[in-house]
């Protein structure tokens, strides 16, 4: 039984047109999906509907966000033990799929940073850089990781995101990236709490 890599429908004998994706990892594609790709220069792959379907199958609650610069944008609610809010979206100008989260320090921990001497701030920054460098993944997997330290209205935090190409984005890869994002959130929370309380 063969399924289309885009719509996931079972492809009946004689209706499989070819394969889609990187040369080493091609996947079967049905005629309607191939036609849709060709008609839209490869930009419309039905990925929004597939992600909604996967979220429903995994019982993950989410809201759709109307962001004019994005083809779609979902906010996943209370994911994992930390009850994180994770966002998944695809920009109109860049067809990579992006999944990530923002986290902010508590008022107590933010106040501790304000009281640091210049030397302590530099030591803390070095610890953060060392920790963030451990979050990198192998670029050969087609998954890229980014992060930045942010400060909004006097609160310190971090933005973490994972990007991947949309042409071979299937449920297995979606769940793998979701798990990576959850694990990173937990590691970040542990790291910040331990580092700032020592």
For 92-103, give the DSSP string.
SS---EEEEEEE
Q: What is the per-residue pLDDT across 100-132, written as a single tens digit (0 to 9) for each?
A: 887 777 777 777 777 888 888 788 778 877 777
The SS3 assignment for 29 reads strand
Judged against a pLDDT cut of 70, whether residue 188 lies above it is answered with: yes
Confidence (pLDDT) at 152: 63
Confidence (pLDDT) at 36: 64
Length, in residues, of the chain: 198
What tokens appear for 7 in the block? 């719509």
Read off the pTM: 0.66
Torsion, Cα 119 120 122 127, to 10 degrees, reads 150
Report percent pLDDT > 90 for the chain: 6
CATH number belonging to domain 46-197: 3.30.1460.10
Q: What is the per-residue pLDDT across 126-139, written as a single tens digit (0 to 9) for each?
A: 887 777 777 666 55
DSSP element (H, E) containing 91: strand 84-91
Q: Where are the domains of the chain?
A: 1-44, 46-197
DSSP element (H, E) containing 156: strand 155-164
Q: What is the per-residue pLDDT across 57-67, written as a single tens digit (0 to 9) for each?
A: 999 889 998 88
Judged against a pLDDT cut of 50, whether residue 42 lies above it is answered with: no
Judged against a pLDDT cut of 80, whether residue 15 lies above it is answered with: no
């Amino acid at each position: 039984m063969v399924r289309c890599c885009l719509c996931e429908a079972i492809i009946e004998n004689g209706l499989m047109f070819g394969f889609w994706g990187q040369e080493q990892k091609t996947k079967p594609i049905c005629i309607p999906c191939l036609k849709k790709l060709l008609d839209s220069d490869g930009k419309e792959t039905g990925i929004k509907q597939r992600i909604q379907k996967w979220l429903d199958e995994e019982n993950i609650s989410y809201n759709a966000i109307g962001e004019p610069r994005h083809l779609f944008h979902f906010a996943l609610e209370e994911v994992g033990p930390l009850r994180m809010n994770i966002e998944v979206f695809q920009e109109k100008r860049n067809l990579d799929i992006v999944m990530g989260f923002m986290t902010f320090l508590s008022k107590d921990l933010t106040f501790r940073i304000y009281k640091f001497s210049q030397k302590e701030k530099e030591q803390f920054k070095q610890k953060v850089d060392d920790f963030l460098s451990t979050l990198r993944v192998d670029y050969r997997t087609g998954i890229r990781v980014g992060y930045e330290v942010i400060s909004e209205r006097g609160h310190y935090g971090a933005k973490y995101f994972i990007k991947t190409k949309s042409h071979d984005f299937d449920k297995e890869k979606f769940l793998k990236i979701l798990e990576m994002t959850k694990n990173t959130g937990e590691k970040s929370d542990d790291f910040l709490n331990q580092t700032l309380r020592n």
